[in-house]
Amino acid sequence: MRIAQTELTIRTTPREIREVTREVADWVARQGIERGVLTIFIPHTSASLLIQENYSPDVLRDLAGFLDRLAPEDPARYRHNDEGPDDMPAHLKSVLTQVQLTIPVSRGGIRLGTWQGIFLLEHRASPHQRQLLLTIIGD
């Protein structure tokens, strides 16, 4: 059994839903692990991760609109707004999505469905550097 781990730094733009499948898949392929489990963790409270359709960009636009309707930027709605009107909505969007993904690895690569991709969701209204901690366990 082997364990490999790395940290990827991803520069985001405001409110971006960015596909990171290629970066993750390339790292996994370089590890030489034929089968196992990959965990991706984002140690942030105002950004998150998703596995979602990567074929139609309308899916991502609709997802962003849905999250905006669920957690609108309206300071009158929230007590916590220490970093501006996007602060609490960003936390809520992170709660509604995920901060950790588990993906099977087989034949030396990640195993996603035909139209699935890995996405980093930047919920803040300004650019950030986000870290993704990738850990693969397998043989």
Q: What is the rounded CA–CA span in Å between residue 124 and residue 19? A: 17
* Statement: residue 24 has pLDDT above 90: yes
Domain count, the chain: 1
pTM listed for this prediction: 0.96
Domain that holds residue 133: 2-138
**CATH number for position 23:** 2.60.120.460
Average pLDDT over residues 125-137: 98
71-92 pLDDT, tens digit per residue, is 999 989 999 988 999 999 999 9
Which pLDDT does position 138 carry in this prediction? 98
32-80 pLDDT, tens digit per residue, is 999 999 999 999 999 999 999 999 999 999 999 999 999 999 989 999 9
